[in-house]
């Protein structure tokens, strides 16, 4: 097998069968087609499955050296895999001269791997000493375009974030666990008495640290020093990297909610400069990748149900602090599978394809 580069660079999608992969394939079909060959790869479990991309059927290959045969300089491999798989296989791809675009956590803190959200720091994609480009965590991705646009105007001084995270951030296993739990509690009179939800859901809470149906869980990731979770520290570190503000104070609390798709965040941002809510709304309206929905009297505010399946970050509830004329509050929703992963990886890959065009 050799990659056909006559109509553009070749693209491989590793993890094509996962929650993010299943969203990425239709995105490839919808966007301007810059690719020659597109190759779909997953674990040996999925080898031989047939998936549709760009209106054609493609057979899923098992992840082996052979799957990348013919790949070389100018080609791109997107990794939508667990971090340990990305860590193992991205170097295999770069050895061939192809660029690896990874949406896992494997390389996000590697100083030699740029961490890119094209709306904010597209320029960073070109400096990639290891031939690898990383995309951010889905919580960072949901807010960074809005925060970045406000930062460009007002100079960010302090950021506080509380998340309302969807179950699909934990992949197919996350969505399935929430659906199963909802079936157990819906249609019952459970949910208002002590222990109700835990008893109904049972021990098998899937990838979550407790029952998620009719509940919220203030935990995702692993425990780090000071009681912080790895996920909270990651959002802090990534925000600092992408905005190139290495000392920015950032406080994050990550909370999982019983939503299938679409992350929501409350954001409090303090700036070096005075803010004005009306002007902030104008900035957000003009920001790439951001759509403003901010007319609560008319029922217009972002919700994850409305953000699910769409590309932008939806921003609303923009308010100036009543006590601090340097601070803004807002609410943002974005599809964790799209802007949080599949769309961002596609956008990065298109930037790389554009370099050789």
Ligand X SMILES: NC(=O)c1ccc[n+]([C@@H]2O[C@H](COP(=O)([O-])OP(=O)(O)OC[C@H]3O[C@@H](n4cnc5c(N)ncnc54)[C@H](OP(=O)(O)O)[C@@H]3O)[C@@H](O)[C@H]2O)c1
Contacts with ligand X by CB under 6 A lie at: 15-21, 42-43, 45-46, 63, 80-83, 85, 103-104, 138, 168-169, 171-173, 336-337, 340-341
Distances in Å between the Cα of 116 and the Cα atoms of 133, 238, 324 are: 7, 10, 32
What does 96 bind: a second copy, ligand X, none (CB cut-off 5 to 8 Å by kind)?
A: none
- Compute the least distance from the CB of residue 280 to a second copy, in Å: 11
Is residue 110 within 8 Å of 130, Cβ to Cβ? yes
Q: Nearer to ligand X by C-beta: 75 or 137?
A: 137
Tell me the residue nearest to ligand X as measured from the CB.
Answer: 18
Nearest residue (CB) to ligand X, 168 versus 349: 168
Separation of alpha carbons 338 and 43, rounded Å = 22
User: Which of ligand X, a second copy, none interacts with 29 (beta carbon under 5 to 8 A by kind)?
Assistant: none
Q: Which candidate in 138, 151, 231, 333 is catalytic?
A: 138
Out of ligand X, a second copy, none, what residue 18 binds, judged by CB under 5 to 8 A for its kind, is ligand X
**C-beta closer to a second copy: residue 94 or 219:** 219
Which residue among 231, 254, 263, 333 is the active-site one? 263
| Residue 81 interaction partner, one of ligand X, a second copy, none, beta carbon < 5-8 Å per kind | ligand X
Q: Quick one: 98 or 341, whose CB is closer to ligand X?
A: 341
Contact 14, 41 (CB under 8 A): yes
- Smallest gap from Cβ 307 to ligand X, in A, equals 13
Torsion-angle region of 317 (φ positive above 0: left; ψ -120 to 50: alpha; else: beta): left
Q: How far apart are CA 158 and CA 76, in angstroms?
A: 36
Q: Is 254 annotated in the active site?
A: no
- Cβ-based nearer residue to a second copy, 97 or 309: 309
Residues 116, 135: contact at Cβ < 8 Å?
yes
Beta-carbon neighbour count of residue 90 at 10 Å? 28
**Spatial CB neighbours of 343, under 8 Å, sequence gap ≥ 6:** 27, 311, 335
Closer to a second copy by CB, 116 or 147: give it.
Answer: 147
Q: What is the edge-to-edge ordering of all strands in the sheet holding 263-271?
A: 250-253, 156-164, 263-271, 327-334, 313-320, 290-292
Which partner from the list ligand X, a second copy, none does 147 bind, CB cut-off 5 to 8 Å by kind? none
Asked whether the beta carbons of 113 and 134 are under 8 A apart, the reply is: yes
- Burial zone of 200 (CB within 10 Å; 0-12 exposed, 13-18 middle, 19+ buried): middle
Using alpha carbons, list the distances in angstroms from residue 31 to 49, 262, 352.
24, 21, 15
CB of 135 to ligand X, least distance (A): 7
State yes or no: is 138 an active-site residue.
yes
In the complex, the smallest distance separating the C-beta of residue 64 from a second copy, rounded to whole angstroms, is 31
> Cβ-count burial of 245 within 10 angstroms (0-12 exposed, 13-18 middle, 19+ buried)?
middle
CB of 266 to a second copy, least distance (A): 4
Residue 109 or 158 with smaller CB distance to a second copy: 158
Q: Least separation, in Å, of the C-beta of 203 and ligand X?
A: 21
191 binds, among a second copy, ligand X, none (CB under 5 to 8 A by kind): a second copy
Tell me the CA distances in angstroms from 281 to 15, 291, 319, 328, 344, one per residue in order: 38, 10, 9, 11, 24
Question: 270 forms bridges with which residues in the sheet?
Answer: 158, 327
Q: Name the binder of 340 from a second copy, ligand X, none, CB < 5-8 A by kind.
A: ligand X
- To ligand X, the closest distance from the beta carbon of 93 in angstroms equals 13
Please answer whether residues 14 and 81 qualify as being in contact, where contact means their C-beta atoms are separated by less than 8 angstroms.
yes
Active site residues: 138, 263
């Amino acid at each position: 097998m050799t990659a056909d580069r006559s109509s553009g660079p070749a693209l491989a999608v590793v993890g094509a069968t996962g929650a993010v992969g299943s969203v990425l394939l239709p995105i490839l079909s919808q966007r301007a087609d810059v690719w020659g060959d597109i190759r779909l790869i997953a674990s040996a479990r999925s080898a031989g499955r047939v998936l549709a991309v760009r209106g054609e059927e493609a057979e899923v290959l098992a992840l082996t050296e052979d799957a990348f045969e013919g790949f070389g300089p100018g080609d791109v491999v997107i990794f939508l895999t667990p971090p340990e798989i990305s860590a193992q296989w991205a170097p295999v791809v770069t050895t061939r001269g192809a660029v690896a675009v990874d949406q896992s956590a494997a390389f996000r803190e590697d100083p030699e791997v740029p961490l890119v959200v094209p709306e904010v720091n597209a320029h960073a994609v070109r400096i990639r000493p290891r031939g690898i480009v990383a995309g951010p965590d889905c919580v960072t991705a949901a807010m960074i375009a809005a925060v970045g646009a406000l930062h460009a105007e007002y100079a960010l001084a302090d950021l506080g974030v509380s998340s309302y995270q969807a179950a699909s951030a934990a992949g197919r296993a996350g969505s399935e666990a929430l659906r199963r739990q909802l079936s157990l509690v819906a249609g019952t009179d459970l949910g208002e008495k002590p222990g109700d939800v835990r008893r109904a859901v049972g021990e098998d809470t899937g990838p979550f640290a407790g029952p998620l149906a009719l509940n919220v869980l203030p935990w995702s990731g692993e425990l780090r020093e000071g009681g912080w979770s790895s996920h909270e520290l990651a959002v802090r570190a990534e925000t600092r990297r992408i905005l190139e503000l290495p000392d920015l104070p950032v406080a994050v609390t990550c909370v999982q909610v019983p939503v299938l798709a679409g992350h929501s965040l409350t954001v409090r941002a303090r700036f070096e400069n005075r803010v004005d809510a009306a002007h902030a709304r104008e900035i957000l309206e003009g920001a790439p990748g951001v759509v403003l929905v901010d007319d609560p009297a008319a029922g217009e505010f972002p919700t994850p149900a409305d953000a699910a399946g769409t590309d932008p970050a939806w921003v609303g509830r923009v308010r100036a602090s009543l006590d601090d004329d340097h601070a803004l509050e807002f609410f943002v929703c974005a599809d964790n599978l799209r802007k949080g992963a599949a769309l961002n990886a596609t956008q990065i890959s298109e930037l790389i394809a554009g370099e050789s065009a």
